[in-house]
Amino acid sequence: MKRHECFFCTFVKKRRISRIMKRFLLIGIGIWGMISCVTQKKYTNVVFEKMCMEGIASQYIQDIDALKQQIAKMEADRLKLLQDTIRLFLDVRNREKELADMREKSRLETGRVMRQLNNNQREAAVRLQSISDIRQLLKRFDESLFRIRDDLGVYVIDIQGITLAQDNGKVTVVAADDQMFQGEDNTVSKTGKELVNRITPLLKTYPDVNIVVAAYVDSSVVHQKKTWDRQAQRVIAVSDLLLQDTTIVPNRVSVSVSGDDRLSSRSALFNYKTDTHSIYISFVPNLNMLYELIRENQ
């Protein structure tokens, strides 16, 4: 049977290559065969590993895409959180400013209220003091009137036709015309002069008391104008007699002729009725001090 030779062996025989070269060629061919065999196996392994790596890489790519989506979502959440934080910060700062403004307004309003309260307290204290002063003054007036009534009871009660009364903040001496004047004449009688002389010292003893000399004219009296003129002349005559004492200030004595009975008392200590035949000498408190206290506290 004819033996077949490979192309390389035929080529070597025909070319008549030297023995050393042949050896090198044979060694190279052997090494190449060995390498080719090893490379084929490794290629198969590399292909497998490549497929595995591609699968892993694909999974990694999917994971990376998912992570990118999560990162994008987290970035959106971070931006939203940052916006909310900024909005909250601005809101807190505005609230703090409003709170500071409210505190300042409250401080100013509290100061104003406290000043107003202090002013009211001072005004109240002044008014309370004024009320206390007015009460003390009225009490002093009442005490003076009571003492005057007692003194009059000693000085004039023994004079015939004289009546005493105390009412409406005054003490009144009621004297009948026939005791105070001489008949129809407007000249003060001896008894009238004695009464005036006993009354005059009381004006010196009680400087906070004045005298009003008054008469009453009944509207039903015939010839009313004549009666009015007569009573007016008589109260003036009594007041002139009181003012003969130069130590008495003129403005402490006044006169009045009234068409009603308001100047006298119907519920007095001693019962009497006003009529056109009497003169009323009333001791009344000097209210100038009271008016001054009231004006000072208006």
CATH of the domain at 176: 3.30.1330.60
Q: Which of 285, 280, 286 is nearest to 176 (CA)?
A: 280
Residue-level pLDDT at 265: 36
Whether 192 has a pLDDT exceeding 90, the answer reads no
Residue 36 lies in a domain: no
Higher pLDDT, 274 or 144: 144
Residue 283 φ/ψ, nearest 5 degrees:
-95, 115
Task: Kindly list the strands in the beta sheet with 278-285, ordered across the sheet, starting from the edge strand earlier in the chain.
Answer: 162-167, 170-176, 278-285, 209-216, 253-258
Give Cα separations from 255 to 160, 211, 213, 283, 291 (angstroms).
24, 9, 5, 12, 21
Look at the chain and report how many structural domains it folds into: 1
Residue 225 lies in a domain: yes
pLDDT band at 137; cut points 50, 70, 90: confident
Which of left, alpha, beta for 244 (phi over 0: left; psi -120 to 50: alpha)? alpha
pLDDT band at 101; cut points 50, 70, 90: very high
Higher pLDDT, 289 or 41: 289
Pair 139, 160: CB distance under 8 Å: no
Pair 262, 243: CB distance under 8 Å: no
**What are 2-33's pLDDT values in tens digits?**
454 555 555 555 555 566 666 666 676 666 65
Whether 283 has a pLDDT exceeding 70, the answer reads yes
Name the helix (H) or strand (E) containing 159.
Answer: none
pLDDT band at 262; cut points 50, 70, 90: very low
Which pTM does this prediction carry? Answer: 0.54
Residue-level pLDDT at 252: 87
Residue 164 lies in a domain: yes
Residue 10 lies in a domain: no
Which residues constitute the domain of residue 282?
Answer: 147-296
Pair 261, 274: CB distance under 8 Å: yes
Q: Which of 158, 225, 240 is nearest to 193 (CA)?
A: 240
Burial class (CB in 10 A: 0-12, 13-18, 19+), 257: buried
Higher pLDDT, 18 or 201: 201
**What are 35-81's pLDDT values in tens digits?**
555 456 666 776 777 778 777 878 888 888 888 898 889 989 999 99
**What are 237-247's pLDDT values in tens digits?**
998 888 888 78
Residue-level pLDDT at 140: 81
Residue 135 lies in a domain: no
Residue 200 lies in a domain: yes
- Rounded to the nearest integer, the mean pLDDT of the chain is 77
Pair 234, 181: CB distance under 8 Å: yes
Residue 188 lies in a domain: yes
Residue 223 lies in a domain: yes
pLDDT band at 222; cut points 50, 70, 90: very low
Name the helix (H) or strand (E) containing 41.
Answer: helix 19-155
